[in-house]
Structure 1
Amino acid sequence: LYFADNTLELWMPSEAHEELNRMVALLIALIYGEWDVEARDLGSMTHSDPATDRGFEPDTCFYEDVETGGETVSRPRLAVEMERTNSALAKLPIYAAYGMPEVWRVSLSDTGELQARFYRLEEGDYREVSESIAVPPMTPDLLCDFLRARLTATRLGAWIASVQNWARARPHVSA
């Protein structure tokens, strides 16, 4: 779902869409767990801004609580969009207006081809980047490798262990 310029777009997620979406969310949560990153998985929480008359629901989003001026403020960390038939590119200006620092676009074609692209917000616009700041040193290719392993053969327990082992082998650097 997203709303901008008096246009409301709704999509009905398929089984393949949701399976991929939950895999990505689990992968991020497992890595954050290993790194002791306090981020909250808020799923497809509705974000709206009455001042700009815009809103969106990412497929998955992560937030972090930050201490600012003696109070705890929740701020966006990462949004993930799954693509099967519709491109998430149209949503990027809405994410930018909201201040989402990073957006991942993940697609799975009908033939089973996986593709991922990462975007970082810089000076009000998104720029495609080769490495995540929300989950460093994750790259689009590495994300696809993890997802492909789970989609093709790896049993869930073995896949979880491989993600955790990968995270343990890399020291977390706060973004």
Structure 2
Amino acid sequence: MSVTLQLKQVQVQPGQRLVLEEVSWQQFEDILEELGDHRGSRLTYSDGTLEIRMPLPEHEKNKVILGDLVKVLLDELEIDYVSFGSTTFKRRDLAKGFEPDDCFYIRNFAAMVGKQCLDLGRDPPPELSIEVDVTSRTQLDVYRALGVPELWRLEAGRLRIDVLREGEYIEVEQSPTFPDLPLKENLSRFLAMAQSEGPRLALKAFRQWVRGQIAGQD
């Protein structure tokens, strides 16, 4: 005997995840529509398996500050960008879909800045995506399939930078988006500062650090 439940009958608590098997693409689309855009959960879909995650406050705080640090970098370097936040990125032909913690179009800024609807069949994936892993791990197979060039993952206060090379993610020491800045060993320091002293002071100190780095390159 099979039992059918509506998603509104299922509660996923913060820090927990729900994994559903044998979910068709149309069911995935229907779930996205039922849950709507104004929700706290994050979804990942891969070959019929749907994962629904409900982040913890720790996750959300780190996600926001890490995204803000990236925006400071782009601002100080005078690089145009557009953030698509936690937009749902999906391709039916690949049976893959994901919602990042944050993401940025930089090289493709001009093509994406005015976009209101996204179709990865025609549009490129974001050049830089951010994930904060607290209670679950980022599903790299989805990122690989959709071709996200650069992925930042924060886990236990450590920042990992991966770039996509020949279909695999390789950890690197320098971000190709910001090749002249020693970010990997310094961003964690400002993230910790945001937790202990608040984001305003951390962002201010980080902006000063970036300016110092730029001045040292002149």
TM-score (norm 1): 0.83
Aligned to 1:80: 130
Q: Which has the higher strand share?
A: 1
Residue from 138, 143, 156 that aligns with 1:95 = 143
Aligned to 1:145: 189
Aligned residue for 1:10, secondary structure, equals strand
Change (3 A) 1:103 1:65: closer
Distance (whole Å) between structure 2 residues aligned to residue 9 and residue 28 of structure 1: 27
Alignment of 1:161-172 (within 5 A): 161-171=204-214
Post-superposition offset of 1:138: 4.1
TM-score (norm 2): 0.68
Identity between Structure 1 and Structure 2 (%): 30
Distance (whole Å) between structure 2 residues aligned to residue 41 and residue 25 of structure 1: 9
Aligned residue for 2:201, secondary structure, equals helix
Residue from 28, 47, 56 that aligns with 1:14 = 56
Residue from 60, 67, 89 that aligns with 1:47 = 89
Number of matched pairs:
160
Which structure would you say has the larger RCO, counting Cα contacts within 8 Å and 6 or more residues apart?
Answer: 1
Give the counterpart letter for 2:141 in structure 1: P
Instruction: Answer whether contact 1:79 1:103 (CA < 8 A) is retained.
Output: yes
Instruction: Answer whether contact 1:58 1:81 (CA < 8 A) is retained.
Output: yes
Post-superposition offset of 1:158: 2.5
Structure 1 portions without partners, runs of 5+: 109-113
1:135 aligned onto 2:194: no
Structure 2 portions without partners, runs of 5+: 1-42, 113-123
Aligned to 2:19: none
Instruction: Answer whether contact 1:25 1:41 (CA < 8 A) is retained.
Output: no
Aligned to 2:34: none
Cα RMSD of the aligned pairs, angstroms, is 1.9
Q: Which has the higher helix share?
A: 2
Post-superposition offset of 1:86: 0.8
Instruction: Answer whether contact 1:4 1:55 (CA < 8 A) is retained.
Output: yes
Instruction: Answer whether contact 1:39 1:64 (CA < 8 A) is retained.
Output: yes
